Amino acid sequence: MPLPLRDFVQQVLLENDRASKVFVAIHKAWASAVLQYPQRARWLRKSTFRGIVWEEAIKELHTLALEDPGVKLVPHRDTISFILEDAVLFRFKHADLSLATSNYPTPEARAFDEHDIDLYGFSGLQRVELCYVLNEFETAIVWVGVSARANGEWLWKIELGTTGVVNQVTEPELFEESLDPQRLASLKQSKPDSEAKEQKKRDG
């Protein structure tokens, strides 16, 4: 399968305004979990609350998938992944400030960023992680975005916000042979409303 390409993944996220919808979904999930468990500050294991946030986030992302035909929910073992446009597979994770995530070392977890290996019965999908980062005291979300790794090495990140993708890539990366450039071109035709308005102003 190909290495995840930032430019391609960004365009998939911009399609149907997914980037902003995912951002809102994660913040909504966090707010719901905080409201349900005000006693969490006394819990000794922080991972307990992270598990609750994960459950809430999967519910919100599932709702998003029901409303977007280009998003598919894929259950496997004790976790859930999502596939966008039959091209990008992501899983939802808590990450630290360096965007490092932690996983129980199952064979699938170890192989997730080994991109010469296909997983879960799907071939040719670019695999990335949808991450949320908390502040030092784990009282608020400070970053939501997508991160890509290869064999344990960090590749790139895409920050998400209420208006879509923050600091969009404007120059495409080199394509791998297995990636169809026409597919990227078709996705690029869908611009966010804000970008279209700016273009209209420049034209006149």
12, 18, 102, 101: which is closest to 60 by C-alpha? 18
SS3 60: helix
Q: How far apart are CA 65 and CA 71, in angstroms?
A: 5
151, 179, 148: which is closest to 85 by C-alpha? 179
Q: Tokens at residue 106, please?
A: 């199952």
| Predicted structure pTM score | 0.80
Residues 6+ apart with CB under 8 A from 192: 14, 17, 163, 164
pLDDT in tens, 69-83: 999 999 987 789 999
204 residues of the chain, pLDDT tens digit each: 679 999 999 999 999 999 999 999 999 999 999 999 999 989 989 899 999 999 999 999 999 999 999 999 999 877 899 999 999 999 999 998 888 887 656 667 677 788 888 887 788 899 999 999 999 889 999 999 999 999 888 899 999 999 999 987 655 444 444 445 444 445 445 444 545 555 555 555
**pLDDT at residue 123 in the model:** 87
| Burial tier of 9 (Cβ tally within 10 Å: 0-12, 13-18, 19+) | buried
Tell me the domain boundaries of the chain: 6-203
Q: How far apart are CA 80 and CA 21, in angstroms?
A: 18
**pLDDT at residue 9 in the model:** 97
Q: Tokens at residue 162, please?
A: 């209420």
